[in-house]
Amino acid sequence: MSADSKFKSGFVAIVGRPNVGKSTLMNQVIGQKIAIMSDKPQTTRNKIHGVYTTDEMQIVFLDTPGIHKSNSKLGDYMVKSAMSALEEVEAVLFLTDVSEELGGGDRFIIEQLKKVKTPVFLVMNKIDKVHPEALLPIIQTYSKLHDFTEVVPVSALQGSNVTTLLEQIGRYLPEGPMYYPADQITDHPEQFICAELIREKILQSTREEIPHSIAVEIESMGAGDNGVVNIGAVIYVERPSQKGIVIGKNGAMLKEVGKRAREDMERLLGSKIFLELWVKVKEDWRNRESVLKSLGFRHD
């Protein structure tokens, strides 16, 4: 950084309908998995803070839960969490999926964005799924609904145009401090990321009603012999029948979930992991305020 240029920093929210690629974009920018990915909507439940740092700037990203019509207290929490993020930032990235028609969910979010005073970028994701000539009509359709500060087409999965997006964001950041050390990529504790990795593996392995009935809590985490990190985690489900599905025949499903989660954890922590998993039933936990709080769900 030259002597006459000043360091810039700020917070940027990523919002959009469920399943448009918000977590994929975050992971692509950060260069490491800190937000879980799944083909199921409403995967992200908490505001994930990802930190991107260069010699010139630091961007702290908030990957918010997808804004959707809620049918539970957990759903209410997720939507409030996403909307509150818009009040805390220097810019908002409204992520859309160009391979899908503009729908009611997009229109609802755009109406909320009209109340926002900070710059709002239209980030058109999944351009790898459409012909380049199809982009202009889509841009025109969205631009009729809101006067976006910038329009940036990207492929979060392939990394296409992501560097351009970061450069554009940098233009709108104020001069500011480095909020986090240059080598730090998230402000979430390791326990949170580990719990999310376990939940990701379950989401990827189960179908139907299971995904949104799952919560994971790390009960213990500490150093063991020979540098091995011992982790004990509880997987909560809402009904006894779900417990059987998660455990699987002769424990096969739980064993596979543990194996794949452990591999990701070892990459994250740079240590050997000994992982123990338990499955417990906590009936209707998504609608019990006390349970939600104990699991870390807050929207204040």
Q: Are residues 153 and 221 in the same domain?
A: no
Structure tokens given for 281: 């039933």
CATH number (domain holding residue 136): 3.40.50.300
Per-residue pLDDT for 290 more than 70?
no
Q: Are 36 and 257 in contact (CB under 8 A)?
A: no
Backbone Cα Rg of the chain: 20
| Total domain count, the chain | 2
CA distance 100 to 125: 10
Q: Are residues 259 and 116 in the same domain?
A: no
CA distance 44 to 260: 19
CA distance 233 to 198: 9
Q: Are residues 166 and 210 in the same domain?
A: no
182 pLDDT band, cuts 50/70/90, is confident
Average of per-residue pLDDT values in the chain = 81
Q: Which residue in this structure is represented by tokens 């769900």? A: 297
Domain that holds residue 18: 8-171
**Is position 207 within any domain?**
yes
Q: Are residues 261 and 155 in the same domain?
A: no
Q: What pLDDT is recorded for position 165?
A: 96
Q: What pLDDT is recorded for position 36?
A: 47
Runs of H (alpha helix) within the chain: 22-30, 73-85, 104-113, 135-143, 162-171, 190-205, 240-247, 252-269, 289-294
Q: What is the pLDDT of residues 135-166, one digit of tens each?
A: 999 999 999 999 999 999 999 999 999 999 99
Q: What is the pLDDT of residues 188-201, one digit of tens each?
A: 567 777 888 888 88
CA distance 73 to 285: 9
Q: Are residues 194 and 166 in the same domain?
A: no
Q: Are residues 27 and 154 in the same domain?
A: yes
156: exposed, middle or buried (Cβ count in 10 Å: 0-12, 13-18, 19+):
buried
**Is position 180 within any domain?**
no
**Is position 299 within any domain?**
no
Of residues 12, 207, 159, the one with CA closest to residue 90: 12
